[in-house]
Amino acid sequence: MKEILADIDNWQQAGKQVALATVVQVYGSAPRPLGAKLAVSEDGAMVGSVSGGCVESATVQEALEVLSTGRPRLVSYGIADETAWEVGLACGGTIEVFIEPLNW
């Protein structure tokens, strides 16, 4: 969390909306632990991470939708072994990510 605060602060100072994505469940081995965070600004910039790679771009899309609806959502990225490499979860784990507008 600490490492993403400065960017969040900059975005908010610039009057931008920010969404926060947090890993809330990890099944099997996954690259980032419970509580790992990715922040997304309304113009799609991101800081931090919730996985080793490609889940980030899907999370950014979800985050932008969360910002437009204003409603948090829980998203599950279930990764089968063969597709694991493509989406960046090489270990074949599953993660659940909670995405919310940073308005609290």
Partner 1 sequence: MAELFDAAAEAIRQDELCAVVTVLSGDEIGRKLLVRRERKADGSASTLSVTGSLGDTTLERAAIARAEEAMEARRTTRTSLLAEGQEWDLLIDVHVPQERLVIVGAVHMAIPLVAFARELGLYTVVVDARPIFATQDRFDHADELIRSWPEDALREMNLNESTYVVTLTHDEKLDTPALVYALDHPVGYIGALGSKRTHAKRVEVLREAGVSEEQIARIHAPIGLDLGGRSPGEIALAIMAEIVQVRNLSGAES
Smallest distance, Å, CB 73 to partner 1?
8
For residues 46 and 40, the answer to whether their CB atoms sit within 8 Å is: yes
| Cα 41 to Cα 45: distance, rounded to the nearest angstrom | 5
Residues forming the site for partner 1 (CB under 8 A):
1-2, 5, 8-9, 12, 22, 24-25, 33-35, 71-72, 74, 98, 100, 102-104
CB of 37 or CB of 60, closer to partner 1:
37
- CB atoms near residue 9 (< 10 Å): 11
Give me the residues paired with residue 23 across strands.
97
Smallest distance, Å, CB 59 to partner 1?
16
How far is residue 52 CA from its own chain's centroid?
A: 11
CB of 56 or CB of 100, closer to partner 1:
100
Alpha helices in the chain (DSSP H): 5-13, 55-69, 81-87
For the chain, what's the residue count?
A: 104
Smallest distance, Å, CB 83 to partner 1?
25
CB of 68 or CB of 83, closer to partner 1:
68
CB of 5 or CB of 14, closer to partner 1:
5
